[in-house]
Structure 1
Amino acid sequence: MALSGMRGLSVFISDIRNCQNKEQERLRVDKELGNVRTRFKNEKGLSPYEKKKYVWKMLYIYMLGYDVDFGHMEAVSLISAPKYPEKQVGYIVTACLLNENHDFLRLAINTVRNDIIGRNETFQCLALTMVGNIGGREFAESLAPDVQKLLISSSCRPLVRKKAALCLLRLFRKNPDVVNVDGWADRMAQLLDERDLGVLTSSMSLLVALVSNNHEAYWSCLPKCVKTLERLARNQDIPQEYTYYGIPSPWLQVKTMRALQYFPTIEDPNTRRSLFEVLQRILMGTDVVKNVNKNNASHAVLFEALALVMHLDAEKEMMSQCVALLGKFIAVREPNIRYLGLENMTRMLLVTDVQDIIKRHQAQIITSLKDPDISIRRRALDLLYGMCDVTNAKDIVEELLQYLSTAEFTMREELSLKAAILAEKFAPDLSWYVDVILQLIDKAGDFVSDDIWFRVVQFVTNNEDLQPYAAAKAREYLDKPAIHETMVKVSAYLLGEFGHLLARRPACSPKEIFSVIHEKLPTVSPSTIPILLSTYAKILMHTQPPDPELQNQIWAIFNKYESCIDAEIQQRAVEYIALSRKGAALMDILAEMPKFPERQSSLIKKADTEVDTAEQSALKLRTQQQTSSALVVTDQRPANGTPLSSSTQLTLVKVPSMSSTADHNLAEQGLSHENGTLSKVDPQPPSADLLGDLLGPLAIEGPPSTDVQSQQTIVSGLEDVPNTIEAAAIVPFGEQTNSVQPIGNIAERFHALCLKDSGVLYEDPYIQIGIKAEWRAHHGRLVLFLGNKNTSPLVSVQAIILPPSHLKMELSLVPETIPPRAQVQCPLEVVNLRPSRDVAVLDFSYKFGNNMINVKLRLPAVLNKFFQPIAVTAEEFFPQWRSLSGPPLKLQEVVRGVRPMPLLDMANLLNSFRLIVCPGLDPNPNNLVASTTFYSESTRAMLCLVRIETDPADRSQLRMTVASGEPALTYELKEFMKEQLVNIPTAAAPVPQPTSPAAAATDPGAMLAGLL
């Protein structure tokens, strides 16, 4: 019997390995799971050995990546088996399949405790290992005293005690109260006298957790830790099995130094001297060798020693030695060591005395700025920024400017900001500062914030000697054929204020300055035009005696913009043309700007805060948004059921709607197409790259937080709707204990319905829930088709809608009983209040026989359902695109992890989101431009524009820019598209369609009948 059992397991493993593809493997696994499930139903007839065999198979299937949602009780029951083989399987499989909150674990607590306090060391080890892996608060409260007794027991073998230490560590992390500080500090110190390195290493792990929580109670352990380090450094009494590539127990060394870093100081001079001798030995004895494993171990010890040296604020001589050692590391070929060297040098900058020593390695650090690994380049940038001062600022900033032209655009914003801050803090003279900022704008204008050029204007305005030089440099940049819009702004401002100081220089007459600035007008966005109009007025004021030709040209421009739709532009044009006719009064009104008051630079303020990454910013914005938590994790377990044949016919039970005028109201409230038309502005001649401003900063700006207003849901059959609707909507599917398994993948069905308007939302052996939807502006009407597939009625039927705060939803009456082979229609009215990606949830339950089934299903009333595709022409697109100048109305992000696909497939995917791709708008054939109109009660019709830039050499990443007139809409649309693009295989799953398309098309009520 034993032989046949082992043969069965071996045959199953062989069958799995011989499968030709994933589908064959799934079929074989499903067959085996069905067999195991059948055997477990007759559990009384199973011997402990047979139960062990089937549980082993379950573990193997789980290790292959399949969900095993049954047999947990059988695995737990093996823990109480009297023999080791069965008990071992019980402990191993329970630790793998269950988590600390599983209800079945409570049944095993007494058995586990009996094994721990028993005399069988093997059983003790099994129990301690399992508790150390998955023990929760209940285990901590029940078992902690017994585990502590094992740990300090002198009669237990080291094998048991080291497992007890790790087990107690787990229990302490789950409930710190289980370790009494007053009674445990002395015992912890005694444990550090242990000669067995296994017990000592485990005890040190426990000590690290204890001192991180409360170091003051464990001062008596500090000298013991130093003695342990001395023992290891001198290789005293270290068994061979604890020596790793000649290094005495590197794991214990690292843990000991980590524990010492939680103590603020070491007051005893003898202990401090002994510790520094050990650290000196580690620093002197570590070098880079060819063996990778030895390198990893020795450098783990070394870098922990460096951290301890910095923590203890060692003498300057030792600090210098550390910097010299790191200087060798940043020059080696191994990238991991270079990274750690740069990172620790940056940390050492906190110790001001070593800054001069770090400067000796400046050339090597600059070389690291060109490393192929971006993580090393980032650490090199941080280090250069931290080590910069007046003596080396010029060299470092010039290197940063040179690197800027080749740096990845994910780094350019941070790089630009740091270069600007360093130039301002450590400029040897102001003319050099002006040169640096103008170069910065010229090379990376998209990544230069307005704060940077505002600061240049302040410096130039407040320093008269600098004004002619700054105006001359601005004039030079305007001669370039293509310059960034930020350069146009700063140059126009400087020449308007100080251009008259250049009158005697060649090509700097007022007419020539006006001509070269006016050439840039057609290429700029509406936000820049007011600055240019102010410059024209200043030029007119400084032209004495007046030039009639120049005056007429400028007046014609003012006249043109007197009727501009932009209020700012219109007001300036009207006021300037009126002022320019007042003669001498113009000189007083448009005199030079006064000096700015001295105040702290906004850039220096930024220097005190870390520059957020796009991911961090997005996370912050999501937490600031509405607090609706109606996003539900769906069950993705493999289907075990089969649908009924298409020939099965259902009778139709009609349920009256809550409002007889619902359809009429929906039609009445729908917006006409005129509401979504584009607003017209004066068209501008297109520039060489009208989409160039897409290379803007990658900082993700989000919508302001909005107040969450609770929305009532009218549900028939229930008199009291719970107040905690949103809380109820986040119950994870993994904790549902339904005995009925769904047919098909629920998540795939939901994602498919996000792109289609009809299909099956959920199906199990007893019921099928279909959906057919119609969407008009910000209104929607869904019909839920509840079909009973059996010859017996479904009773206790309940349906509750759990809406997010941005949707107003009303469900019609749902009958408590669905007759045999009948279908029920339940209309659901939806109104979209504002943009959001949160999802409504259908909490559906029914009873069939003795089975009570409850499922929570996401409803496909998602963001893109309220889109209406609209094609735009170049004359309509570019004025709108330019008017949305930047965050929070225009957001940009690099999206990685996209499934590579041809550009045509990506265009089709966008079309399925109800975004229409507009060909010919982008001159780059590898890019896509799309548009749509979004409807909600708060925004009404809002135009949305999208541009996607792809790299033919790497289709797994793209850069996406989204723009609209509403910050919340821009952010939600960007995040929605990113989720869909990263999860394309799921999002593009086929939608189950009716087997009788003609019938379903002619009669919505017959859709489910065709599906069944």
Structure 2
Amino acid sequence: MTGMRGLSVFISDIRNCQNKEAERLRVDKELGNIRTCFKNEKVLTPYKKKKYVWKMLYIHMLGYDVDFGHMEAVSLISAPKYPEKQVGYIVTSCLLNENHDFLKLAINTVRNDIIGRNETFQCLALTLVGNIGGRDFAESLAPDVQKLLISSSCRPLVRKKAALCLLRLFRKNPDAINVDGWADRMTQLLDERDLGVLTSSTSLLVALVSNNHEAYSSCLPKCVKILERLARNQDVPQEYTYYGIPSPWLQVKAMRALQYFPTIEDPSTRKSLFEVLQRILMGTDVVKNVNKNNASHAVLFEALSLVIHLDAEKEMMSQCVALLGKFISVREPNIRYLGLENMTRMLMVTDVQDVIKKHQSQIITSLKDPDISIRRRALDLLYGMCDVSNAKDIVEELLQYLSTAEFSMREELSLKAAILAEKFAPDLSWYVDVILQLIDKAGDFVSDDIWFRVVQFVTNNEDLQPYAASKAREYLDKIAIHETMVKVSAYILGEYGHLLARQPGCSASELFSILHEKLPTVSTPTIPILLSTYAKLLMHTQPRDPELEKKVWAVFKKYESCIDVEIQQRAVEYFELSKKGAAFMDVLAEMPKFPERQSSLIKKAEVVEDTADQSAIKLRAQQQPSNALVLADPQPVSGAPPPLKIPSEPQSVARTISQPNGTSSNIDPQAPSPDLLSDLLGPLAIEAPPGVVSTEQHGPTGTEGVPDEVVGSAIVPVGEQTNNVEVIGNIAERFHALCLKDSGVLYEDPYIQIGIKAEWRGHHGRLVLFLGNKSTNPLTSVQALILPPAHLKLELSPVPDTIPPRAQVQSPLEVMNIRPSRDVAVLDFSYKLGTIVGAKLRIPAVLNKFLQPLQLTSEEFFPQWRALSGPPLKLQEVVRGVRPLALPEMANLFNSFRVTICPGLDPNPNNLVASTTFYSETTGAMLCLARIETDPADRTQLRMTVGSGDPTLTFELKEFIKEQLIAIPMGSRALVPAAAAPPPPVAQPPSPAALADDPGAMLAGLL
């Protein structure tokens, strides 16, 4: 770019702009000048064309759309001189993607440069082909690139670029590259003395053997020869030596290629390879130079992976573990992390567990590391290395760490501690102690499966029953205990409390009194368990205690008219049964033993996501003997309530959580619970309930809770145009604005403006599309097609084929919401004005449009909140990366998408409580509740709890709110109402005629 004064002046002007608007004006002026010059070909010299193309690339790099001048950039490729040709190749590779039609015009020119004699032009052409990597290039140019790679007359620089170019083409289009019979040629390439060509060829070999290792078995000895050459530092130029390490990149690639071959059968080759690996293991240590550490450790950890793959001798494996033991004790966190991760991978080797145990104290120390990534790796390693000999120490360390661990790890810690205690308990009384401590220290993070499991152990082991009852009684003496502790203590004391009758403070009347003190503090699902316990205590009291009977009957009478049918039924039946004498004894007899079957907790551990380190843990667990008692899958225990049933009698929509079709849930109550462990091993997240599609399946999601690209099951490039017409305004910002209001401009270009006006009522919506022709010519071949997602039923009135000049047409769109979802409908429209112009636009018929603002009082809110027992009807998540907002601003944001803040319900002034009503054909009117707990010291994170009577709705609403809080658009504050008052009720949608007469819907006045 030397000597281009005009380009230098333009760049200086851009840098001197005071604001974004001034920059845009300068860019628009320059683009207009470039367009004018490109049209006047008589004065467009090669120098000027090169200068203008450079300016066009610079404008593109600033983020502005450059939708012209592509032909001029491509034409520079065929220039005879290097400066112009270089500009053509660089700009073409930056501006055009592999599917652009202009690239087909350049294929012949690029091929001529590849097969030509000018090495500089060859390198430019290979770089372009490698960067773009399209199918057209692969099918047309791959044979020529292959010839360059194996040509002995080409310089190493060209062959190196040819290898990398062929690698890119093979990765993008493996079926378009003919590599049949290339094994012999790859073998020859691995004999290359030039390390640049050799490194590139080895990269190509890794891709080839990953696809078909059997065809390239002849390359295996060559890879070992390469490693020998580098290990002995033979014939390695200085420029390929990095901090004294001979070509670490080539060493890593050669060892990675070897890992694709199953075995090494030749004894001499295997011996040579292990000598090289031994040299790497012995010669690697931690030094002060960070760059040297990075290079040497890259080679070392790849060598460790190869050692594991080859199943080396025990002596070498032990040496690897000892080396990793050094790494987990150094100060550098990256090295500690890699040491723990690779030691976890070593668990796949059967003979080194005892060696790994020698580092147990250092691994436990890593559990307290400031870096959470290191803590997670240490937890995985402890979980995988645990067996009968060290289980007690490891579980006790996990329990001790539990009280100081951060929230995002506590659930994972709890589950793993419970599994280890069950599998490797030296005696069952220790197991009971561990689980009760676990519940006491981390009650919020202990799933129901864990206390179900301890109940099963106690039920199946008579010797354990008095001890478990005694321990449960001790925990009830604490002033504050978690609700899960109340559940497990109530169940155990109800079944086996009579075994403690002779101990002080353990009579039936005293047990009733201490349990009844907890009743006001528990939620609705726990009350049935307490009622069952009271009935059991009354049954076990022989002779009958009149005073106890009077107290228990009073409780039963109190709950005979409870709105919850489960509580009501138990209270009525227990009251009547307690009058029957012997029949009461028969019905409430001691629970039988559970049938034998594998533990559900252990099964959860076996279906963990199969990453490399989890594979090691899984294999290690399969190799270890277990002391665990084999029991049934945890069915609801006697006294444990089934999933919450909410009455379906006709009541006020604003005051009752209703269920679809009057049922309690669309989830089978006998279905196994979600896989907690696989959820916990990732970031804190809750698995979507059955029938719910997660955002990962939806693709990228916009800030308003609707996917940017998904329509049904087809991927649609939303907002992408099929022509060169410049869009006025930002399509995404217009869509986000319409998600929070009901009228505005959806799309505008120099010729057409599309506006929307909408009204919403319940699960119905009426939108009117206003298509206005801004030009003085008619727009012909106008087409509009709605691509609906599965959860919406849409009906668009036909659009006229022609829009007259300066005229506006209207097209009503009827919307009906079938079920909760954040998917989005897309409008595929096009018109003709000389050329075909088209775009795909998201329609703002999103989740919050089917919400009705609703403000509840404390008397109305809390009974409904307690009625939602937990997942999947009530989901909780810690959300990080939230854009910092003051509490009033956050309240305004919630009100803007029709989730009404209910002030004064939460005693903590830093928390928000909200409610709304969702409408769909499937759910009817469904009450939704939410609670947001913020941290005044860190506004970038919060804990969110969302509940409703439908699991799919709960999940979708939770994700929608999370998207609002994490990815609020820059201009969203202007869209949030200034006051926190709820929006006014939605009125009956007007007719199309009324909308047509509305001046606010006219072409220029929609925003």
What TM-score do you get using the length of structure 1 for normalisation?
0.87
Aligned residues: 915
Q: Partners in 1 of 2:714 and 2:417 — Cα distance? A: 48
Structure 1 residues 688-736: Cα deviation after superposition (integer angstroms, max 9, x where no partner): xxxxxxxx985423243389xxxxxxxxxxxxxxxxx957974325753
Contact kept, 8 Å, 2:818 with 2:920, in 1: the verdict is yes
Give the equivalent residue in structure 2 for 1:777. Answer: 762
Q: Any gaps of 5 or more consecutive residues in structure 1?
A: 617-671, 682-695, 708-724, 994-999
Name which of 879, 891, 906 aligns with 1:895.
879
CA deviation after TM superposition for structure 1 residue 793, in Å:
3.2
Task: Say whether 1:1004 aligns with 2:1002.
Answer: no
Contact kept, 8 Å, 1:739 with 1:851, in 2: the verdict is no
Structure 1 residues 914 and 78, CA gap change in structure 2 (3 angstroms): same
Q: Partners in 1 of 2:398 and 2:90 — Cα distance? A: 55
Contact kept, 8 Å, 1:894 with 1:959, in 2: the verdict is yes
- Describe the SS at the equivalent of 1:486: helix
Give the equivalent residue in structure 2 for 1:812. Answer: 797
Q: Partners in 1 of 2:301 and 2:574 — Cα distance? A: 66
Name which of 284, 295, 319 aligns with 2:282.
284
Give the equivalent residue in structure 2 for 1:973. Answer: 957
- Describe the SS at the equivalent of 2:758: strand
Please show how residues 587-606 of structure 1 align to structure 2 within 5 Å: 587-606=585-604
Structure 1 residues 292 and 750, CA gap change in structure 2 (3 angstroms): same
Name which of 917, 937, 945 aligns with 1:953.
937
Please show how residues 490-529 of structure 1 align to structure 2 within 5 Å: 490-529=488-527
CA deviation after TM superposition for structure 1 residue 800, in Å:
2.2
Q: Partners in 2 of 1:801 and 1:338 — Cα distance? A: 54
Task: Say whether 1:802 aligns with 2:800.
Answer: no
Name which of 864, 867, 872 aligns with 2:856.
872
CA deviation after TM superposition for structure 1 residue 126, in Å:
0.7
- Describe the SS at the equivalent of 1:358: helix
Structure 1 residues 804 and 354, CA gap change in structure 2 (3 angstroms): same
Q: Partners in 1 of 2:856 and 2:712 — Cα distance? A: 42
Please show how residues 379-458 of structure 1 align to structure 2 within 5 Å: 379-458=377-456
Contact kept, 8 Å, 2:712 with 2:789, in 1: the verdict is no
Give the equivalent residue in structure 1 for 2:142. Answer: 144
Q: Partners in 2 of 1:734 and 1:908 — Cα distance? A: 29
Contact kept, 8 Å, 1:76 with 1:108, in 2: the verdict is yes
Give the equivalent residue in structure 2 for 1:704. Answer: 690
Structure 1 residues 906 and 436, CA gap change in structure 2 (3 angstroms): same
Structure 1 residues 572-604: Cα deviation after superposition (integer angstroms, max 9, x where no partner): 112111111112332232221122222211011
Give the equivalent residue in structure 2 for 1:840. Answer: 825
Q: Partners in 1 of 2:517 and 2:609 — Cα distance? A: 36
CA deviation after TM superposition for structure 1 residue 150, in Å:
0.9
Q: Partners in 1 of 2:323 and 2:420 — Cα distance? A: 28
Contact kept, 8 Å, 1:749 with 1:991, in 2: the verdict is no
CA deviation after TM superposition for structure 1 residue 787, in Å:
2.4
Please show how residues 552-563 of structure 1 align to structure 2 within 5 Å: 552-563=550-561
- Describe the SS at the equivalent of 2:9: helix
Give the equivalent residue in structure 1 for 2:917. Answer: 933
Q: Partners in 1 of 2:177 and 2:764 — Cα distance? A: 59
Structure 1 residues 874 and 432, CA gap change in structure 2 (3 angstroms): same
Q: Partners in 1 of 2:271 and 2:996 — Cα distance? A: 90
Q: Partners in 2 of 1:171 and 1:607 — Cα distance? A: 41
Contact kept, 8 Å, 1:753 with 1:991, in 2: the verdict is no
Give the equivalent residue in structure 2 for 1:537. Answer: 535
Structure 1 residues 602 and 738, CA gap change in structure 2 (3 angstroms): same
- Describe the SS at the equivalent of 2:352: helix
CA deviation after TM superposition for structure 1 residue 560, in Å:
1.8
Contact kept, 8 Å, 1:898 with 1:956, in 2: the verdict is yes
Q: Partners in 2 of 1:239 and 1:739 — Cα distance? A: 52
Give the equivalent residue in structure 1 for 2:72. Answer: 74
Contact kept, 8 Å, 2:773 with 2:779, in 1: the verdict is yes
Structure 1 residues 467-499: Cα deviation after superposition (integer angstroms, max 9, x where no partner): 111111111111222222111110000000111
Give the equivalent residue in structure 2 for 1:620. Answer: none
Structure 1 residues 346-370: Cα deviation after superposition (integer angstroms, max 9, x where no partner): 0001112111111111111111111
- What one-letter code is carried by the residue in structure 2 that aligns with 1:678? T
Name which of 258, 262, 265 aligns with 2:263.
265
Name which of 637, 640, 653 aligns with 1:675.
653
- Describe the SS at the equivalent of 1:110: helix
Contact kept, 8 Å, 2:821 with 2:953, in 1: the verdict is yes
Name which of 158, 161, 166 aligns with 2:159.
161
Name which of 839, 843, 854 aligns with 2:838.
854
- Describe the SS at the equivalent of 1:984: coil
- Describe the SS at the equivalent of 1:527: helix
Give the equivalent residue in structure 2 for 1:125. Answer: 123
Q: Partners in 1 of 2:363 and 2:963 — Cα distance? A: 38
CA deviation after TM superposition for structure 1 residue 1009, in Å:
5.0
- What one-letter code is carried by the residue in structure 2 that aligns with 1:766? Y
Structure 1 residues 202 and 895, CA gap change in structure 2 (3 angstroms): same
CA deviation after TM superposition for structure 1 residue 990, in Å:
4.7
Please show how residues 212-291 of structure 1 align to structure 2 within 5 Å: 212-291=210-289
Structure 1 residues 411 and 66, CA gap change in structure 2 (3 angstroms): farther
- Describe the SS at the equivalent of 1:676: coil
Give the equivalent residue in structure 2 for 1:831. Answer: 816
Structure 1 residues 981 and 815, CA gap change in structure 2 (3 angstroms): same
Q: Partners in 2 of 1:1009 and 1:130 — Cα distance? A: 46
Structure 1 residues 480 and 992, CA gap change in structure 2 (3 angstroms): closer
Contact kept, 8 Å, 2:719 with 2:839, in 1: the verdict is no
- Describe the SS at the equivalent of 2:746: strand
Structure 1 residues 57 and 968, CA gap change in structure 2 (3 angstroms): same
- What one-letter code is carried by the residue in structure 1 that aligns with 2:359? H
- Describe the SS at the equivalent of 1:193: coil
- What one-letter code is carried by the residue in structure 1 that aligns with 2:67? D
Give the equivalent residue in structure 1 for 2:17. Answer: 19
- What one-letter code is carried by the residue in structure 2 that aligns with 1:704? P
Q: Any gaps of 5 or more consecutive residues in structure 2?
A: 615-649, 660-678, 694-709, 978-993
- What one-letter code is carried by the residue in structure 2 that aligns with 1:433? Y
Q: Partners in 2 of 1:84 and 1:454 — Cα distance? A: 76
CA deviation after TM superposition for structure 1 residue 856, in Å:
2.0
CA deviation after TM superposition for structure 1 residue 57, in Å:
1.6
Contact kept, 8 Å, 1:762 with 1:770, in 2: the verdict is yes
Contact kept, 8 Å, 2:190 with 2:202, in 1: the verdict is yes
What TM-score do you get using the length of structure 2 for normalisation?
0.87
Name which of 369, 378, 382 aligns with 2:376.
378
CA deviation after TM superposition for structure 1 residue 1004, in Å:
1.9
Structure 1 residues 611-654: Cα deviation after superposition (integer angstroms, max 9, x where no partner): 699xx9xxxxxxxxxxxxxxxxxxxxxxxxxxxxxxxxxxxxxx
CA deviation after TM superposition for structure 1 residue 336, in Å:
0.7
CA deviation after TM superposition for structure 1 residue 83, in Å:
0.9
CA deviation after TM superposition for structure 1 residue 36, in Å:
2.3
Q: Partners in 2 of 1:576 and 1:583 — Cα distance? A: 12
Contact kept, 8 Å, 2:209 with 2:257, in 1: the verdict is yes
Q: Partners in 2 of 1:793 and 1:101 — Cα distance? A: 32
- What one-letter code is carried by the residue in structure 2 that aligns with 1:855? A
- Describe the SS at the equivalent of 1:934: strand
Structure 1 residues 405 and 42, CA gap change in structure 2 (3 angstroms): farther
Tell me whether 975-984 or 321-330 shows the greater mean CA deviation.
975-984
Contact kept, 8 Å, 1:980 with 1:987, in 2: the verdict is no
- Describe the SS at the equivalent of 1:864: helix
Q: Partners in 2 of 1:145 and 1:123 — Cα distance? A: 18
CA deviation after TM superposition for structure 1 residue 802, in Å:
2.2
- What one-letter code is carried by the residue in structure 1 that aligns with 2:998? P
Moved >6 Å (runs of 4+): none
Structure 1 residues 673 and 73, CA gap change in structure 2 (3 angstroms): farther
Give the equivalent residue in structure 1 for 2:628. Answer: none
Tell me whether 566-575 or 279-288 shows the greater mean CA deviation.
566-575
Task: Say whether 1:924 aligns with 2:908.
Answer: yes
- Describe the SS at the equivalent of 1:855: strand
Contact kept, 8 Å, 1:748 with 1:986, in 2: the verdict is no
Contact kept, 8 Å, 2:658 with 2:925, in 1: the verdict is no
Please show how residues 683-722 of structure 1 align to structure 2 within 5 Å: 698-705=684-691
Contact kept, 8 Å, 1:729 with 1:841, in 2: the verdict is no
CA deviation after TM superposition for structure 1 residue 17, in Å:
2.7
Structure 1 residues 44 and 379, CA gap change in structure 2 (3 angstroms): farther
Q: Partners in 1 of 2:276 and 2:715 — Cα distance? A: 54
